[in-house]
Structure formats: C-alpha cells, structure tokens
Amino acid sequence: QAVGTQRDHANVMADLLVEADYRGHYSHGMNRLDMYVKDVKSGTCDGKATPKILKETPATAWVDGQNGMGAVVGNFCMDLAIKKAKEVGVGWVAAKGSNHFGIAAMYTMQAIKEGMLGMSFTNTSPFLAPTRSKEV
C-alpha cells in the first residue's frame, strides 16, 4: 500500500508471499517482496490495475490483466474458472498482460477447496536464447 497499491491487492500479495514461505517455497515468498515493490514503484507493474474479461463463452474466458500484479490476475482468473466450472462443468481461463504470480499451487488449491481439480500455468521473462538462435 505504501507504494500505491490498492489495499485489497496488497492483501492478495501478502497472502501469496506468506503462503509460499509457509509451504517452503522461499524463492517465491517474502524474499520477493522487494521485487514486487520495485515493480510497482518503477511502473513495470500497475498496483491499481483491475483485470477485465476480453472475451468469454460459458466455459472459457480470455482476460486482460492490464499489467496488474500477477497474484491479483491469477486470483481473478481462478475465481472465474471455478464459477464457470460450477455452471457448466469446466472452466478454462487464459490471461495476457499479467506479471509474476508467485507459486502456482496457490491457485490450484483454490479449486481444491471447492471440490474441483485445478491447474495453473504461467510463462516467464526470457532468460536465455533458444538453441541455435544466436551466433557467438
């Protein structure tokens, strides 16, 4: 909140970081707080962004995270997927315009709490060049 993040978004991030540490995923826990704060302060990530649905069917949705915090986008998408699964038997949601969303287990556990199977996937920033993609 001190860097301009909405209170409810800050709470989502806090829950994510504490859960990661609690589960022993220290690489995605409180030691990431500095990274998330810097991302909001620098404008790399918008701490006030609210995800929006771009397109949907009864069982699917495409979401624009609007460059928001990954955990906020992740929760929005999983909540939507669970809602759709309850209504029609399956919920499949994909997002663009998101950021690092922490431990993927956080989202699958939301589905489990609802008696459902949940899967969560993400991409990452490029860290290396693919094989034979550049010359030395």
Query: Mean pLDDT throughout 60-89?
Result: 97
Please name the residue that has the structure tokens 């771009």. Answer: 54
> Distance from first CA to last CA of the chain, Å, rounded?
45
Query: How would CATH label the architecture of 7-114?
Result: 2-Layer Sandwich (3.30)
Q: Are 102 and 71 in contact (CB under 8 A)?
A: yes
Whether the per-residue pLDDT at 30 is higher than 60: the answer is: yes
Contacts of 95 by beta carbon, 8 Å cutoff, 6+ apart: 51, 62, 63, 64, 65, 73, 74, 76, 77
In percent, how much of the chain has pLDDT > 90?
86
C-beta atoms surrounding 15 within 10 Å: 14
User: Domain-by-domain residue ranges, the chain?
Assistant: 7-114
Q: What is the largest CA-CA distance in the chain?
A: 54
Whether the per-residue pLDDT at 125 is higher than 80: the answer is: no
pLDDT, tens digit, for every residue of 82-105?
Answer: 999 999 999 999 999 999 999 999
Predicted confidence at residue 134, as pLDDT, reads 66
